[in-house]
Amino acid sequence: MGSSTNFNPCYVLLPLFLVLAANATHTNFFLPRPRTGYYGSACWNVESIVRSVVESNYLANPANAPGILRMHFHDCFVQGCDASVLLAGPNSERTAIPNLSLRGFNVIEEAKTQLEIACPRTVSCADILALAARDFVHLAGGPWWPVPLGRLDGRVSLASNVILPGPTDSVAVQKLRFAEKNLNTQDLVVLAAGHTIGTAGCVVFRDRFFNYDNTGSPDPTIAPSFVPQIQAQCPLNGDPATRVVLDTGSGDQFDTSYLNNLRNGRGLLESDQVLWTNPETRPIVERLLGLRFPFLIFGLEFARSMTKMSQIEIKIGLDGEIRRVCSAVN
Binding annotation: 75, 78, 80, 82, 84, 93, 165, 195-196, 247, 255
Q: Whose CA is closest to 38, among 133, 120, 152?
A: 152
The CA dihedral of 193, 194, 196, 197, to the nearest 10 degrees, is -170
CB 48 within 8 A of CB 131: no
**3-class secondary structure, 92:** coil
Q: Compute the C-alpha angle 137/142/148, nearest 5°.
A: 60
Within 13 A of 321's CA, how many CA atoms are on the CB side? 10
What gap in Å lies between CA 160 and CA 157, rounded to an integer? Answer: 9
What gap in Å lies between CA 259 and CA 253, rounded to an integer? Answer: 13
Residues of the binding site for Ca(2+)? 75, 78, 80, 82, 84, 93, 196, 247, 255
Query: Phi and psi (nearest 5°) for 153?
Result: -85, 140
Among 26, 72, 74, 138, which one carries the catalytic annotation?
Answer: 74
- Pair type for strands 199-201 and 243-245: antiparallel
Q: Compute the C-alpha angle 165/169/202, nearest 5°.
A: 85
Helix axes 125-139, 105-118, angle to 10 degrees: 120
Across the chain, where does the E strand assignment appear?
199-201, 243-245
Query: Phi and psi (nearest 5°) for 200?
Result: -140, 150
Segment holding 243, helix H or strand E:
strand 243-245
CB 288 within 8 A of CB 296: yes
Q: How far is CA 104 from CA 58, 153, 217, in A?
A: 10, 18, 37
Does residue 26 have an active-site annotation? Answer: no
CB 84 within 8 A of CB 93: yes
Residues carrying an active site annotation: 74
